[in-house]
Amino acid sequence: MQVFKFGGASVKDAESVINVGTILRKFADQKTVVVVSAMGKTTNKLEELVKAYYFKTPQLLNAFEEVKNYHFSLLNKLIPEKENPIYNELENVFVELLWAIEEEPAFSFNHHYDQIVSLGEILSTKIISAYLNYIHVSNQWIDVRGIIQTDNSYREGKVNYELSETLAQTQLLPLVIKNKLIVTQGFIGGTSENYTTTLGREGSDYTASLLAFFLNAEKVIIWKDVPGVLNADPKYFKNTKKIKELTYHDAIELTYYGASVIHPKTIKPLQNKSIPLFVKSFISAAEEGTVIKESDQRLNITSYIFKTDQILISIQPKDFSFIAEDNLSIIFSLLSKNGVKVNMMQNSAISFSICIDNDDFKIEPLLESLNDQFKVLYNTEVQLMTIRNYNDEIVAKLSEGKIILMEQRSRNTHQMIIKSE
């Protein structure tokens, strides 16, 4: 048994879905669970929609129409016959969404976010499952919310491993054995009260890894628009190199520092059961990608992890007290309360600096809560550059023409926060 994951870019238009169909046809008679994300940029669009709904801005109906038209026009190209039951199914999802946004918000923003944003994955999997059946790649659609159970931390659902494992073994496994090909959603889960949760942005990789763990799969394949794990993001660097083999440990380190090729939570469950993870190109499926597995071959090439749209915040106690344990403990509890992850930090006698992602859902409430006790200064539009296996020459070259706002080095890793001059 194996678990596949297809991300948003691999199903962004009809052509891409057809390509996924071509890949899956080859595995039609193997026990495969296919985890799919929302199509293209749907999740971002649905985020806009929730904001418009909750904060009552006029973009609401526009966003709704955009999401609806996008999915129907994609479907149209895949399955032109309007009598196909998928048309009704999609229509129903949109009718329910419309009802939901006509009501006054009754819960927290995050609660509504999860109920609405999760529809991206419901829509994509329904379309893909219908299309596969249409081209005679027989499969079964499964609602993953009945398997992946979480607490009610909306937008950051914490998975109940015991319960989810039992459900995967008793509900999902027999279906995999019987139907062979299963199509289900990444990124979303369900609570004991039957509400929907999400597992954090880009969380579909994590779903694939969880399902592989619960089902004791042989392997996981993440199909991407890059040939595997590269030593740098080709969006920002020329001459990138593919890494053929990577240990779990190195993969955890790379994703921890922000390599966006795999979600950071993905590796741990696989490592615990020694399930290898393959990262392969959906464009050239025959090519070997990267394999992440146990081995004593540590990564020795230089890799570059570049995080843009960062914000550097400097926090100073208003009473001019030192930055010591008591102040740090207040700061960290506010960070944790606001769900903010620190990418880099440094302290001096009277100031504590942190570099975080510029997530406008989180920054404002964080700044507000810090402002009570601290003087807060910040720098936006800064970038965080992490170099693993660095040397001075490489660092000098990369910081050329840049202002370095903060810098840290350990034996293997060099990090700097930079701003263009």
| 258 counts as binding ligand ASP under rule CB under 6 A | no
Out of 2, 10, 16, 37, which residue is the one contacting Mg ion (CB under 5 A)?
A: 37
| 186 counts as binding ligand ASP under rule CB under 6 A | yes
| 8 counts as binding Mg ion under rule CB under 5 A | yes
Cβ of residue 121: shortest distance to Mg ion, in angstroms? 9
| Separation of alpha carbons 179 and 137, rounded Å | 11
Q: Which DSSP string do the residues of 20-89 spell out, in sequence order?
A: HHHHHHTTTTS-EEEEE--STTHHHHHHHHHHHHHTT-TTHHHHHHHHHHHHHHHHHHH---TTSHHHHH
120 binds, among Mg ion, ligand ASP, none (CB under 5 to 8 A by kind): ligand ASP
Nearest to 341 by CA among 273, 264, 393: 264
Residues that contact ligand ASP, how many (by CB under 6 A): 12
* 234: amino acid identity, one letter: P
Scored b (16 or more CB within 10 A) or e, 160-186 reads beeebbebbeeebbeebeeebbbbbbb
Per CB under 6 A, which region of 35-43, 168-176, 309-317, 353-361 contacts ligand ASP?
Answer: 35-43
Cβ of residue 44: shortest distance to ligand ASP, in angstroms? 7
Edge-first strand listing for the sheet containing 140-142: 140-142, 181-185, 32-36, 2-6, 219-224, 277-281, 290-292, 245-246
340 binds, among ligand ASP, Mg ion, none (CB under 5 to 8 A by kind): none
Out of 40, 189, 203, 228, which residue is the one contacting ligand ASP (CB under 6 A)?
A: 203
223 binds, among Mg ion, ligand ASP, none (CB under 5 to 8 A by kind): none
| 40 counts as binding Mg ion under rule CB under 5 A | no
253 binds, among Mg ion, ligand ASP, none (CB under 5 to 8 A by kind): none
| Residue number, nearest CB to ligand ASP | 204
| 204 counts as binding ligand ASP under rule CB under 6 A | yes
> Cβ distance 174 to 140 under 8 Å?
no
| Separation of alpha carbons 121 and 96, rounded Å | 15
Out of 4, 49, 75, 120, which residue is the one contacting ligand ASP (CB under 6 A)?
A: 120
Q: Would you tell me which residues interact with ligand ASP (CB under 6 A)?
A: 7-8, 37-38, 43, 120, 186-187, 201-204
Q: Would you tell me which residues interact with Mg ion (CB under 5 A)?
A: 8, 37, 43
